[in-house]
């Protein structure tokens, strides 16, 4: 991978801390041995969901809202922090681990929730006037594997059902693969080739948070049925 396409370093950002249980059921979570306590997640965020899975965590509560308002992400460090939170929600969704989180959007933002609708629905969405209706639709229409990507020998395929129909994209161009690797956990948008970034943004596969561009689809870890049926 070229230097220009290296992922943004987020290791130095404030490590997130979550609260974890061994079971997603509220009653089962009260039983002895089910509470894992507060778990700090230092290091690359790409390893966090696997670490939580290996600890036995099946329900996660994120203490702070993920704030995607422009004011909150005016600096690169703040944008990186928001992207770390989104990456954790995305990766936990891919493993079918229950994650309880909150989302804050700009009051005039009526589109971002649609881009994120393949993720587990948050507990609350703050900001837009229609936030309650948006969240209700999100909850009723969500299912696992709604927007995913997978890698085969020499190609990458994205399957996207966020818009009600199946939209499928397949790429065998190495520079697109390099860009996805860089975008996966966030990179400065200006480091991605302009034509590649425009293609991804145009297909609603990348979200820009401040200066950081972030890859929306997840690599599924748990299939809801046979892979060929997805």
Total number of domains constituting the chain: 2
Which pLDDT score is estimated for 151? 87
pLDDT at 16: 86
**Cα–Cα dist 120/128, whole Å:** 19
Q: Which residues, at least 6 apart from 127, have a Cβ–Cβ distance to it below 8 Å?
A: 69, 104, 105, 106, 107, 109
Q: Which of 91, 106, 108, 95 is nearest to 215 (CA)?
A: 91
Q: Which of 144, 171, 202 is the last residue of a domain?
A: 144
The predicted-structure confidence for 85-141, as pLDDT tens digits, reads as follows 999 999 999 999 999 999 999 999 999 999 999 999 999 999 999 999 999 999 999
Give the pair of three-digit tokens for residue 147: 């927007």
Residue 171: inside a domain, yes or no? yes
DSSP-derived secondary structure letter, 18: E
Which two three-digit tokens encode residue 190?
A: 């200006």
Residues in the chain, total: 230
Task: Specify the pLDDT at position 19.
Answer: 97
Segment 15-67, tens digit of pLDDT: 789 999 999 998 999 999 999 999 999 999 999 999 999 999 999 999 999 99
State the pLDDT at residue 18: 97
223 in a domain, yes or no? no
226 pLDDT more than 70: no
CB half-sphere exposure, 208, CA atoms < 13 A: 14
**Domain containing residue 99:** 3-144
């Amino acid at each position: 991978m070229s230097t220009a396409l290296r992922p943004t370093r987020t290791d130095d950002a404030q490590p997130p801390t979550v609260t974890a249980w061994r079971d997603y059921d509220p009653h089962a979570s009260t039983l002895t041995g089910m509470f894992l306590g507060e778990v700090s997640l230092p290091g690359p965020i790409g390893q966090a969901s696997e670490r939580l899975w290996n600890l036995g965590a099946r329900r996660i509560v994120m203490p702070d809202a993920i704030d995607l308002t422009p004011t909150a992400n005016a600096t690169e460090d703040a944008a990186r922090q928001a992207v770390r939170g989104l990456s954790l929600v995305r990766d936990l969704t891919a493993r079918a681990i229950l994650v309880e989180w909150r989302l804050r959007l700009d009051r005039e933002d009526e589109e971002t929730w649609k881009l994120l609708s393949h993720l587990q629905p948050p507990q609350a969405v703050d900001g837009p006037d229609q936030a309650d209706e948006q969240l209700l639709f999100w909850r009723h229409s969500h299912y696992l594997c709604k927007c995913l990507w997978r890698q085969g020998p020499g190609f990458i395929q994205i399957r996207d059902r966020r818009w009600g129909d199946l939209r499928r994209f397949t790429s065998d161009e190495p520079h697109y693969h390099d860009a996805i690797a860089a975008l996966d956990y966030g990179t400065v948008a200006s480091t991605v080739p302009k034509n590649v970034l425009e293609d991804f943004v145009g297909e609603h596969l990348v979200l820009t948070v401040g200066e950081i561009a972030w890859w929306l689809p997840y690599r599924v870890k748990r299939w809801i049925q046979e892979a060929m049926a997805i």
